[in-house]
Amino acid sequence: MDADAIVVGAGPVGLFLAAELRLAGADPLVLERLERPSEETKARGLGALATEALWRRGLGDQLAEADVEGTKDLARDHGSTRGHFASIHKIVPDPDRPRTNIWQPELERVLAKHAEGVRVLRGHEVIALESDVDGVTVTAGGRGWRAKYVVGCDGGRSTVRKLAGFDFPGTPALLRTIAGRVRFAGDVPPGGRYATGAFMHGGSMAGVTEPATGPEPEVTPDELAAAIERVTGQRVVVEEIQDARRFGDQARQAATYRLGRVFLAGDAAHVHSPSGGQGLNLGIPDAANLGWKLGAVLRGDKPEAFLDTYTRERHPAGEAVLRNTRAQSALLAPGPHVDALREIVAELMDLPEANRYFADLLSGTGHRYDFPYPAPKPVGEHCPDLELRHGDGRTSRLHEHTRTDRGLLLTTGYPADPRVDVVAVTNTGPLLLRPDGVIAWAGEGPLDTALDTWF
Phi, psi dihedral angles at 363 (to 5 degrees): -85, -20
If you average pLDDT over residues 432-454, what whole number do you get? 95
What percent of the chain clears pLDDT 90, i.e. is strictly above it?
A: 86
Task: Categorize the per-residue pLDDT at 218 as very low, low, confident or very high, splitting at 50, 70 and 90.
Answer: confident
Closest CA to 84 of 319, 362, 365: 362
- Judged by DSSP in three states, 447 sits in helix
Domains in the chain, CATH or no CATH each: 3-169+252-362 (3.50.50.60), 175-248 (3.30.70.2450), 387-454 (3.40.30.120)
Integer Rg of the chain from CA: 23
Cβ-contact 144, 138 below 8 angstroms: yes
Cβ-contact 249, 272 below 8 angstroms: yes
pLDDT in tens, 85-115: 999 999 998 999 989 999 999 999 999 999 9
Cβ-contact 154, 126 below 8 angstroms: yes
What are 139's strand-pairing partners? Answer: 128, 144
Query: CA 114, CA 125: separation in Å to the nearest integer?
Result: 23
pLDDT in tens, 148-205: 999 999 999 999 999 999 999 999 999 999 999 999 999 999 999 999 999 999 878 8
What percent of the chain clears pLDDT 70, i.e. is strictly above it?
A: 100
How, if at all, do strands 28-32 and 119-122 pair?
parallel
This prediction has a pTM of 0.95
If you average pLDDT over residues 218-224, what whole number do you get? 89
Cβ-contact 389, 427 below 8 angstroms: yes
If you average pLDDT over residues 268-296, what whole number do you get? 96
Query: CA 384, CA 455: separation in Å to the nearest integer?
Result: 21
Q: Kindly report the average pLDDT of the chain as a whole number.
A: 94
If you average pLDDT over residues 244-255, what whole number do you get? 94
Cβ-contact 296, 29 below 8 angstroms: no
Query: CA 341, CA 351: separation in Å to the nearest integer?
Result: 16
Query: CA 398, CA 388: separation in Å to the nearest integer?
Result: 7
Whether 349 has a pLDDT exceeding 80, the answer reads: yes
Alpha carbon distance, N-terminus to C-terminus of the chain: 27
Whether 276 has a pLDDT exceeding 90, the answer reads: no
**The pLDDT value given to residue 86:** 94
Query: CA 410, CA 387: separation in Å to the nearest integer?
Result: 12
How, if at all, do strands 170-171 and 251-253 pair?
antiparallel
Task: Categorize the per-residue pLDDT at 362 as very low, low, confident or very high, splitting at 50, 70 and 90.
Answer: very high
Query: CA 114, CA 99: separation in Å to the nearest integer?
Result: 19
Cβ-contact 422, 433 below 8 angstroms: no
